[in-house]
Amino acid sequence: MTPRSAPAPGLLTIDSPIGRIALHSDGDAVTRLEIATQGRLTTDGAPDSPTPVLRRTATELAQYFAGRRTDFTVPVRLIGTPFQLDIWRQLQAIPFGDVRGYGELGRATGRPTAGRAVGGAVGANPVPLLVPCHRVLASDARITGYSAGDGVVTKVWLLDHEGIPHR
């Protein structure tokens, strides 16, 4: 029996209303989603090598941006600390158009006083949009920051797109 070779990693760059997005995969799942910062991606100049999962992701993102999709079905592979993985699972459970607070996420993972650590885990999310970290606000609906794309401007666009009130 011949051993199965590992799937080839992939890269696909797409345009979106929030800027260019670089999608990365291990061949089976999306492993990273980067939103351009000041028009730049870390992969600028690298040739695209799309995989079926990245093509499907691009389609689902286009549907999301067009207002025809409210959740994503593409597989993602998250690698992080046990705490980060707990937080990212909580993010995945936030439905379209809804929000959670940092404190709520901490309580849900059994760490009610870990607000700063929760913020760090949210900010370290390797696949924003697919794991919706933009749906996390301060308890008073205030935006406290956003680490993807052009920061708060990107988060405001996403919150407005989903009809989520914020300050």
Q: Annotated catalytic sites, by residue?
A: 133
Backbone angles phi, psi at 107, to 5 degrees: -65, -40
Other Cβ atoms closer than 10 A to 34 = 21
Angstrom distance (rounded) from CA 110 to CA 70: 28
Angstrom distance (rounded) from CA 21 to CA 41: 8
What DSSP state is assigned to residue 46?
P
Report H helices in the chain.
52-65, 82-92, 102-108, 115-123, 152-161
Strand 136-137 relative to strand 100-101: parallel, antiparallel, unpaired?
Answer: parallel
